[in-house]
Structure 1
Amino acid sequence: MTVISAPEDFNTDDLYVDLTGVLGLSVYLKCEGFNFAGSVKLKAALGMVTDAERRGLLHRGSVLVESSSGNLGVALAMIAASRGYRFVCVTDPRCNPATHRLMEALGAEVRVVDNPDAAGGFLATRIALVRSLVAGDDRYVWLNQYANPENQGSHLVTTGPEIEAAFPQLDVVFVGAGTTGTLMGCARYFRSRPRPVRVVAVDAAGSVTFGDRPTPRMIPGLGTSVRPEALDESYIDDVVHVAEPDTLEACHALARRGFLFGGSTGTVVAGAADWLRRHGDATTTAVALAPDMGERYLDTVYRPSWLAEHFGPEAAAGMPQPREATITEVTPAGVVTEILPGGPALVAGSR
C-alpha cells in the first residue's frame, strides 16, 4: 500500500507500453504521465522548486512565475498549492483549455499573451512578460526552465537510470525536444555510460530548436520559437522533425488501440516510427519517452471540429469512429440476443 501526504510524492516511473501491435515496430513507450501533475514535467518542477528552496530563493510570501505551454505550468501549480506559494503561469493561446482550467483549479493565476514573436510563436513574448513581472516585484521568483540546470539534472538522476535499469541492452532512445531539459538529462546520462546508446531528439516541424524554418504550430508541448539555452547538440546523435498531421495520426492510432496519450507523446511516437523504419531492424532495442496523457487534449487533438478547423476534414476523419450501440438481452431460453436500435434483433448465440 502506498500512502502519501503531498501530491508530488507519487509518480509511477516503471510502466512501459509495447507498441508492436500499434506500429508494427518494436519500441517500448515509457509512460511518464501517471502522477498528479499528469506529465513528465513533475520531475523538472520538483527539482527546480526544491533547489530554489534549498538556496533560499523561495520562502514564505514568494510568488512563483514561469512561462509554460501547459504541462510544466500544471506541475508547478500543483507543487505551489502543496507548499503554500502563489503561482503565476504565463502561457499563450495554444494552451489547451483543459490545462488552463486545471491550473486555475489548483489556485494558479494564468496570464495569456496573444502577440506572436518574430518567429511566429509566442515564447519570446511570454518570456518578456515574465521578465517584466520579476522586475516589477521582488516577491516574484522565476525558475527559468529554459536555463535552469535542475531541469535536465532531474532527468540525469531519474529518467536516464530508470530506462537503463529496465533495458540494459538498450540501443536507441527517443526523447521529445521542448525546453530540452528531458532530452539533455537523458543524453548526458547515456553519454556517461559504457554501453553506446543512440539518443534521437524528436522535434516538431516548424520549431527553431535544431535550425528548422519557423512556422506557426497548433499543438503545444514540443518545439519552440526560441532556441533553448540548455541545448548542447554534441550530445544528440540524430534529430527527427515531425509534422503536426503525423502527430495527429500517431495519437489517433494509439487511441484506436485504447491508449489515450497527449500531443507530445504522439509526436515522439511518430518520430520514433519514422526513424526505426529507416534505421532499425529486428534486433534493435528501442525506448520512446511518453511525456503526457491525452485527457487534456480532448478539446483539441481528439475533437473533430477542432481538427477540421485547423487541419481539414481529412484529419477529423482519421479519428477512431464510435461503434453503433447495441443492447444485449438474455431470453428465458438462454439465448443471447443483440438488438440493434432501429433494426431487427440478431441472434448472437446461446448459452
Structure 2
Amino acid sequence: MPVISVPYAFNEEELYVDLRSIYGHPLFLKCEGFNFAGSIKLKAAIEMVETAEQEGVLTPDSILVESSSGNLGVALSTIAASKGYRFLCVTDSRCNLSTRLMMEALGSQVHIVAGQEANGGFLGARIDYIRELCASDDRYVWLSQYTNPSNWKAHYRRTAPEIAREFPGLDVLFVGAGTTGTLMGCARYFRQWHQQVRIIAVDSVGSVAFGGEPGRRMIPGLGMSIRPPLLDESYVDEVLRVEEADTIRACHYLARHGFLFGGSTGTVVSGAMGWLAEHDEREVTAVAIAPDLGDRYLDTVYQSNWLKGLYGDDVLSSDEPDTLSLAASPSAVDAVTGPAGRPHRGRGL
C-alpha cells in the first residue's frame, strides 16, 4: 500500500494496456497518466526542479517560470505547490481550459501570449516573453524544458528501465516527439542495452521537429514549431507523422472501448498502428508510451462543436482503425551539436 506525503512521490510505473483485442495488432501501451499531475511530464518536472535545487539555482525566493502547452505546466504547478515555490506558466490559446483552471487551482499564475512570433509560432512568442521576464528580474528561474538535459535524463533513469524490466524481449518502441525529452532518454538507454530495439518517433503533421514545412496544429502536446534542441536524430530509427484528424479518430476509437486517453496518446497510437499494419508485424513485441489521459481534452478532442469547427463535419464519420491514414517517412540523420542547456536564472536562452 503506497503511503505518500508529497504529490510527486507517486507515479504508476507498471500499468500497460494490451491493444491487440481492440486493434488486431500487438501493442502494449504504457500508461503514464496515473499520477497527481496526470501525465508523463511529472517525471521531467521533478528531475529538473531537484537538479536546480541541488545546483543552487532555485532558492526560497525564486519564481519558477516555464513555457508549456499544458501538461508540464500542471506538473510544475503540482511540485511548486508542494515545495512552496511561486510558479508562472506561459502558454498560448491552444492550452485547454481545464488545464489552465487546474494550474490556477494549484496556486500558479497563467499567462497566455496574445500572438505568434513569425518563425517560431506560439512557442517563439512564449519564449520571447520569458526572456523579457528573466531580463527584468533575477528572481525568475526558467528551467527551459527545451534545452534542459534533466528532461531526457528523467526518462533515461526511469521510463526506459521500467519498460526494459517488463519487456526484456522488446523489439520496437514508439515514442511521441514534443521537446523530445522522453524520446531521447529512452533512445539513449536502449542504444546501450544488450538487445537492439527499434526506436520510432511519432510526430504531428505540421510540426517541424524533424524538418518539413510548418502547419496548423491545434491539439497541444506533441510537435514543435522549432527544431528541438535536445534532439539527436542519430538515436532515432524512423519518424512517423500523424494528421490531427487521425489523432482524433484514434482517441474516439479508444474511448468507445472504455479508454479515455489524451491527444498525445491518440497520436502515438495512430502512428504505431499504422506502422504495425504496414509492416504486418503480428509477432513483434512492441510498446508505445501513452503520455496523458483524456479528461483535459473533454472541451476539445471530445467536444463535437470544437471538432467540426476545425476539422469539418465528417472528421468522425469513421474512426475504425483500418481507415486511419498515416504519412510515414524515415528520419534524416542530422545530429544536433552544441552546449547542453541548463536552467536559467534571470536570463533567457
Do they superpose with TM above 0.5?
yes
Work out whether residues 63 and 85 of structure 2, in 8 Å CA contact, stay in contact via their aligned partners in 1.
yes
Where does residue 113 of structure 1 map in the other structure?
Answer: 113
Where does residue 292 of structure 1 map in the other structure?
Answer: 292
Any residues of structure 2 matched to 1:121-270 within 5 Å, and which? Answer: 121-270=121-270
Where does residue 88 of structure 1 map in the other structure?
Answer: 88
RMSD: 1.2
Work out whether residues 191 and 197 of structure 1, in 8 Å CA contact, stay in contact via their aligned partners in 2.
yes
CA distance in 2, matches of 1:120, 1:57: 28
Where does residue 275 of structure 1 map in the other structure?
Answer: 275
Q: How far off is 1:194 after superposition? A: 1.4
Q: How far off is 1:288 after superposition? A: 0.3
Q: How far off is 1:23 after superposition? A: 1.4
Q: How far off is 1:280 after superposition? A: 4.5
CA distance in 1, matches of 2:318, 2:138: 50
CA distance in 2, matches of 1:204, 1:17: 23
**What percentage of aligned pairs have identical amino acids?**
61
Task: Tell me which amino acid in the other structure corresponds to 2:58.
Answer: L
Aligned with 2:121: secondary structure?
coil
Max Rg structure: 1
CA distance in 1, matches of 2:10, 2:236: 31
CA distance in 2, matches of 1:246, 1:219: 12
Aligned with 2:251: secondary structure?
helix
Q: TM-score, normalised by structure 1?
A: 0.89
Work out whether residues 207 and 225 of structure 1, in 8 Å CA contact, stay in contact via their aligned partners in 2.
yes
Q: TM-score, normalised by structure 2?
A: 0.90
Work out whether residues 187 and 235 of structure 1, in 8 Å CA contact, stay in contact via their aligned partners in 2.
yes
Bigger drift between 108-117 and 7-16 goes to 108-117
Task: Tell me which amino acid in the other structure corresponds to 1:302.
Answer: Y
CA distance in 1, matches of 2:136, 2:109: 17
Where does residue 340 of structure 1 map in the other structure?
Answer: none
Task: Tell me which amino acid in the other structure corresponds to 1:298.
Answer: L
**CA deviation string 1:213-267 (max 9, x = no partner):** 1001110000010111000000000000000000001000100000000000000
Where does residue 19 of structure 1 map in the other structure?
Answer: 19
Where does residue 44 of structure 2 map in the other structure?
Answer: 44
Aligned with 2:56: secondary structure?
coil
Q: How far off is 1:275 after superposition? A: 1.1
Runs (4+) of structure 1 moved beyond 3 Å?
Answer: 316-320
How many residue pairs get aligned? The number is 320
Q: How far off is 1:312 after superposition? A: 1.0
Aligned with 1:123: secondary structure?
helix
**CA deviation string 1:106-156 (max 9, x = no partner):** 111100012123247300110111111111111000000001000000000
In structure 1, stretches of 5+ residues that fail to align are: 321-351
CA distance in 1, matches of 2:129, 2:228: 18
Task: Tell me which amino acid in the other structure corresponds to 2:229.
Answer: E
Q: How far off is 1:279 after superposition? A: 2.3
In structure 2, stretches of 5+ residues that fail to align are: 321-349
Q: How far off is 1:282 after superposition? A: 1.9
CA distance in 2, matches of 1:319, 1:275: 17
